[in-house]
Structure 1
């Protein structure tokens, strides 16, 4: 568990790099959430907003967003890039007051960093009855499977895997859907749980792909000299430009 906490708190050290190299989210994402909600979304709460990659999508939709983020360095970058209509608040999910509920509560690639104890009861207190909770993420992977394997082999002497372990300990074949949908299905607080995918491919320079890796917690926690060597080895097996599988997996649920 300590390793997960360290990884969760590692992003502030690379906040500006995170803003530069992490791709944002497509506007189509808001369309998926709005269609599921079935009514106008006026207010939204974001859990773990980072530098505001997803915040911008919801703010562009005219929604009054309260973006919360526990890391001061990440929040500082977020505040530089967001319109005045967004309320930015420093705070962890576990510490947020429960005296206000929202039409939508969402988390972009951050929910797995929250404390599982009482997660869904606390989440339910933040979503108004009939409102929507949604979690989405876009793991960036090399689209070419041979190239992906070559990169894995290149980093293997120093880093066996760069994945964040799934909070659902069951083998993927035994889960009814990916996490957090698998937990939402079992929650007494939510219903109508759905999983959908927004397809997306991106083309990046090899250098920009390495820039993205430099914001991934598994690499951030490496010793600087080791990290530089890993990036050198991976860069050696990449062509000048790479195609990236950047599909967005979206989970949606309705507050009972």
Structure 2
């Protein structure tokens, strides 16, 4: 697993405070695709439980996994549902036992998993005809001028703060990753691949937006002094209120 995948724990409280939660539409999409009740789920890369509480709040029994103990400790502060259990593990650490799940899902986390054997591992955790769901997307200023000002302030320290598509799919293509990979490498285990975009527009204060950036792995991996400098530079160019585009690209597939 890339080092950046384990860079979040030191900022678990900031992650919980500044990362946006997830809308009910995400669960609705999964339930509609499943074609019936979703009762049991395994979550890959649960973090502080932003998605855990959405699914658990709909009555799903969730096993929330994450390789970072600090993130799971933060999750347990905020997720009190009796149907939620936590396991410190990456996808690669999980060993299928007798239990299989009706749903395996990952929200803003699947890109941190190891490509080799990814779909065989996920399929082994699912019941026959079980559903896989993944969601993610960029959080960026809606105003192109603000985006450019942030880019210029960041440039001396970081060329980009994005996580590139794991399989190199260009951003403009109709089918995005992991849908592309599901149709190719995952086709032996999964079919019915569907992509849906949930439009989201948010408003953050300048402090909240820089707080969000502090949880992004590219910034977290910078030396402390450079991180302080880049955030000071970005803060200087932000308006008091930042309009945000935070669309979620959702992929759904069914185990064969």
Q: Same fold (TM over 0.5)?
A: yes
2:57 equivalent in structure 1: 60
Cα deviation, residue 199, structure 1: 0.9
The residue correspondences of 1:66-77 to structure 2 (distance < 5 A) are 66-77=63-74
Compute the displacement of 1:171 (Å): 3.8
CA offset digits 1:23-52 (Å, max 9, x no partner): 110111100110111011110000010000
Measured after TM superposition, the shift of residue 78 of structure 1 is 0.5
The CA deviation string for residues 12-31 of structure 1, in whole angstroms up to 9 with x for no partner, is 11111111111110111100
1:145 shift after superposition:
1.1
Q: What is the number of residues matched between the two proteins?
A: 252
2:169–2:177 Cα contact (<8 Å) kept? no
**1:134-149 counterparts in 2 under 5 A?**
134-149=133-148
Contact 1:176 1:182 in 2 (8 A): no
Q: Which residue of 2 aligns with 1:238?
A: 238
TM-score by length of 1: 0.96
2-side partners of 1:91 and 1:198: how far apart? 29
Distance 2:167 2:92 in 1: 20
Paired residue for 1:51, among 48, 52, 64? 48
Which position in structure 2 is the counterpart of 1:160? Answer: 159
Once the two structures are TM-superposed, the CA of residue 169 in structure 1 deviates from its matched residue by 2.4
Unaligned runs of 5+ in 2: none
Question: Is the alpha carbon distance of 1:170 and 1:24 closer, same or farther for their aligned partners in structure 2, counting shifts above 3 Å?
Answer: closer
| Mapping of residues 208-223 of structure 1, within 5 Å | 208-223=208-223
Distance 1:217 1:69 in 2: 16
Q: Secondary structure at the match of 1:124?
A: helix
Cα distance change on mapping 1:192 and 1:85 into 2, 3 Å: same
Name 1:251's counterpart in structure 2.
251
Distance of 1:209 and 1:59 partners within structure 2: 28
Structure 2 counterparts to residues 131-210 of structure 1, below 5 A: 131-172=130-171, 177-186=175-184, 187=186, 188-210=188-210
Q: Distance in 2 between matches of 1:134 and 1:10?
A: 24
Cα 1:138–1:43, aligned 2, differ >3 Å: closer, same or farther? same
For residue 105 of structure 2, what is the aligned residue in structure 1?
A: 106
Deviations 1:44-66 (A, max 9, x none): 00001000000010001000000
TM-score (norm 2): 0.96
Q: Which of 12, 16, 21 is the equivalent residue of 1:15?
A: 12
Unaligned runs of 5+ in 1: none
Q: Distance in 2 between matches of 1:129 and 1:172?
A: 33
CA RMSD of aligned residues (A): 1.2
CA drift of 1:141 comes to 0.6
Which secondary structure does the structure 2 equivalent of 1:35 belong to? Answer: helix
